[in-house]
Structure 1
Amino acid sequence: MRKDLSVGLDFTRIIACLMVVVLHVSATGVAEFSHDWVYFNAYDSLVRACVPLFLMLSGALLLGREEGVTQFYTKRFLRIFPPLIFWSVFYVLWKARLSGDYSGLSASLFSVLKGPAYFHLWYLYALVGIYLFIPFMSKIYRHSTDAEKITYLSIWFVVACVIPLVAYFYPGMGDVASVYGLSSFVGLSGFVFLGAYVFDRIKTQVKQSLLADAAGFITSAVCTALATYWLSLRDGTPNQLFFSYLSPFVVAGAVFGFRLLMGLGTRLSRYAKTLNVLAGSTLGVYCLHIFVMNRLSIVYGPFIEGHSMLWVIPALVFAIFIMTLAPIFIARQFKPFRHII
């Protein structure tokens, strides 16, 4: 792979991880109306594409490879299961420590087989199913013409993104996707296919307009924020329908965001080594930042009262990201830890 593209992928991964932190900080205030709710909504809308970006990165890196099923599963699951087990145990022990009740510890440890020990770990569980499908999706992708790829993505977008949205406002139409057996085109795995397709277009493009991609990304975020504002006012309570990762606005934002971040990243080849090291820490940052955010809230809680969330949210995000990155970076200097964090 060209060095500039590799740097672009690392940069995109780092920013997507930062966006996750913004998402979880801003999410603390979107569930209830307040005088700062507009700011929480704006920041949340701006970074909704974070998880789709991660999935698109997987597609960009994996779908173009010709790799045997056994080899693929061995490599991917050796990368995903150690962190999944480690962080699940970490959060089970932490929750037991907070409650002071260790009597159900063994049951809690076994419960991670059924679901995540803490809410944000859902992504690691989702990767298991997505990775199981990727070898077969890869064959489809590599042997499809450009027109066939566009057809697949178009059907996925309509079935997974448009139909659920229309059905919300017009429930009388029923479950069209189920009636017509369209379940093969639903779910987050479409982002993997989308990521591979957009990445291939980036590799072959003659010239990229960063301004156009930035405008598209911002427009998508504004549409998400305005739609959420309108729907919440209509319902009299915050409604997060348009925050769905499969919302049409979020999907559009993911495409423009991926192109924008790749375009910016390819211009940073001189920082390739630093960006690669930071990108390697993103999984650990993703898993640990909720713990840091929770512990830090004990300290910052009293100090942010009366201050505008317009600047408080960026300040908290910066503090949480740095305080999470530091221990992860240090731990990864020891080779055994690189396999689990």
Structure 2
Amino acid sequence: MNIKENFLWISNLRVLAVIAVIFVHTASPLVTKFGLLPNAFWNYANFYDAVSRFCVPVFVMISGALLLNKEYEIVTFFKKRFVRILLPFLFWSICYVLYSIFIKTSDYQKMHIFDIIKKLIRSVYFGSAYHLWYVYMLLGLILIIPILNAWIIKAKKNEIHYFLLLWFVTLLFKNLGLENYKPPIELLYFSRYVGYLVLGYYLSVIEIKNTKKWKIVALLFFISGSSITFFSTYWFSVSKGKTDSLLYDFFSFNVLLASIGIFVFFRLSDFFNRKSNLVITQISHFSYGIYLVHVLVLWILDSFAINASLITPLIGIPITVLLCLSISTIIIKIINMNKFGSYISG
């Protein structure tokens, strides 16, 4: 299967995914406070979070579209990917640890220098900020991409269908709560984010003839998936009297539906294939660095009482997201102005 050549739509989609990530991390602190906030305030946060849940699946799907069915030497591939991913990750991981020790808390007052070093090493090893789990997951995917790529290059359409079918079966057991009832057949190799990798590649190359029809279908997929996430999360939370975020899961059928919808919609929309501007280009180019630094920016904004609760969540969340995105982009761009800045900025 031949890859689609014009990938401007992916650049635009990546920008939307970055913004969606910031929306999730801005809204989520309020989503956890069901019963402690007025229903309207909680549902504002629930709405912003629900419609942004496609962010991580789409990021992985973009990686699949860009990295699979390509000819490259395995050593060159690892050298390029790990340098680009690991060095910025290590730099910002250390920044998060130091911020937590010296600014966010006063832990440094009761810590010896060796305790600080030990905390640094431990935090970098296990994760120094909640959003960095994505980088550890991404590193795991990178390890298997060369193997997956060799298969994709030679794979026929029905073989890719077979893989995605088995991946869907793993989602079926997970979503229906049947994991304890499935036969002891090991399907781990077809599970989790590797499925989104293959799905992203497949949806980027599959021939779609009636683009107008499928663009509408894709939009309906996104609206339906996001609506299920929003309304079901509210209903389950009301039923339990506490936040139930089960359907926020990146492997839930509703999030999968929304992710497929937004991915295909961007691919089929001429606007996203022909239009771009300097701001979008910059955000797309610096997307990894923005992802790495944005939580630190959110922490700093929160210290100035700029967060989801500003005025009202309906207004406070998008204002915080806009400020966070702008500041994060400026930080990464300034670092990149230095000759060696790209090695640590992301």
* Contact in 1 for aligned 2:63/2:197 (Cα 8 Å): yes
> What is the match of residue 193 of structure 1?
198
Alignment CA distance shift 1:302-1:313 (3 Å): closer
Alignment CA distance shift 1:182-1:304 (3 Å): closer
Alignment CA distance shift 1:165-1:57 (3 Å): same
Determine whether 1:119 maps to 2:130: yes
Give the alignment's Cα RMSD to 1 decimal.
2.3
**Which stretch has the larger CA shift, 316-325 or 94-103?**
94-103
CA distance in 2, matches of 1:132, 1:245: 21
Instruction: Find the partner of 2:118 among 107, 111, 134.
Output: 107
Deviation at 1:276, TM superposition (A): 3.4
> What is the match of residue 75 of structure 1?
80
Partner AA of 1:158 in structure 2: V
* Contact in 2 for aligned 1:4/1:265 (Cα 8 Å): no
Matches of residues 175-194 of structure 1 in structure 2 within 5 Å?
A: 176=182, 179-194=184-199
Partner AA of 1:315 in structure 2: I
> What is the match of residue 25 of structure 1?
26
> What is the match of residue 153 of structure 2?
142
Determine whether 1:321 maps to 2:325: yes
Alignment CA distance shift 1:265-1:339 (3 Å): farther
> What is the match of residue 166 of structure 1?
176
Deviation at 1:165, TM superposition (A): 1.9
Deviation at 1:2, TM superposition (A): 9.6
> What is the match of residue 48 of structure 2?
43
Q: Deviations over 1:259-283 (max 9, x none)?
A: 2233447545353665433211111
CA distance in 2, matches of 1:319, 1:274: 14
CA distance in 1, matches of 2:186, 2:3: 41
Matches of residues 1-341 of structure 1 in structure 2 within 5 Å?
A: 5-33=6-34, 34-35=37-38, 36-98=41-103, 99-100=105-106, 101=108, 102-103=111-112, 104-112=115-123, 114-159=125-170, 161-167=171-177, 174=180, 176=182, 179-201=184-206, 204-209=207-212, 210-264=215-269, 267=272, 269-271=274-276, 275-301=280-306, 304=309, 307-341=311-345
- TM-score normalised by length of structure 2: 0.89
* Contact in 2 for aligned 1:92/1:105 (Cα 8 Å): no
Alignment CA distance shift 1:200-1:108 (3 Å): same
Partner AA of 2:316 in structure 1: V
CA distance in 2, matches of 1:72, 1:320: 32
Deviation at 1:52, TM superposition (A): 0.8
Deviation at 1:234, TM superposition (A): 2.2
Partner AA of 2:175 in structure 1: L
* Contact in 1 for aligned 2:218/2:261 (Cα 8 Å): yes
CA distance in 2, matches of 1:61, 1:301: 36
CA distance in 2, matches of 1:309, 1:110: 37
* Contact in 2 for aligned 1:281/1:332 (Cα 8 Å): no
Q: Deviations over 1:233-268 (max 9, x none)?
A: 222211111111111111111111112233447545
3-state SS of 1:245 partner: coil
CA distance in 2, matches of 1:122, 1:79: 17
* Contact in 2 for aligned 1:8/1:262 (Cα 8 Å): yes
CA distance in 2, matches of 1:335, 1:112: 28
* Contact in 1 for aligned 2:24/2:48 (Cα 8 Å): yes
3-state SS of 1:181 partner: coil
Alignment CA distance shift 1:50-1:265 (3 Å): farther
* Contact in 2 for aligned 1:7/1:276 (Cα 8 Å): no
- TM-score normalised by length of structure 1: 0.90
Q: Deviations over 1:217-244 (max 9, x none)?
A: 1111001112212222222211111111
Alignment CA distance shift 1:321-1:265 (3 Å): farther
Deviation at 1:326, TM superposition (A): 1.5
The runs of 5 or more residues in structure 2 that have no matched partner are none
CA distance in 2, matches of 1:303, 1:233: 21
CA distance in 2, matches of 1:265, 1:106: 52
Alignment CA distance shift 1:2-1:125 (3 Å): closer
The runs of 5 or more residues in structure 1 that have no matched partner are none
Alignment CA distance shift 1:67-1:212 (3 Å): same
CA distance in 2, matches of 1:146, 1:2: 13
3-state SS of 2:211 partner: coil
Alignment CA distance shift 1:151-1:95 (3 Å): same
Q: Deviations over 1:34-76 (max 9, x none)?
A: 2111111111110101011111111001111122322221221
3-state SS of 1:246 partner: coil
Partner AA of 2:126 in structure 1: G
3-state SS of 2:176 partner: helix
- State the aligned residue count: 332
3-state SS of 1:5 partner: coil
3-state SS of 2:242 partner: coil
CA distance in 2, matches of 1:181, 1:320: 43
Q: Deviations over 1:113-133 (max 9, x none)?
A: 531111111111111111001
CA distance in 2, matches of 1:158, 1:303: 38
* Contact in 2 for aligned 1:216/1:256 (Cα 8 Å): yes
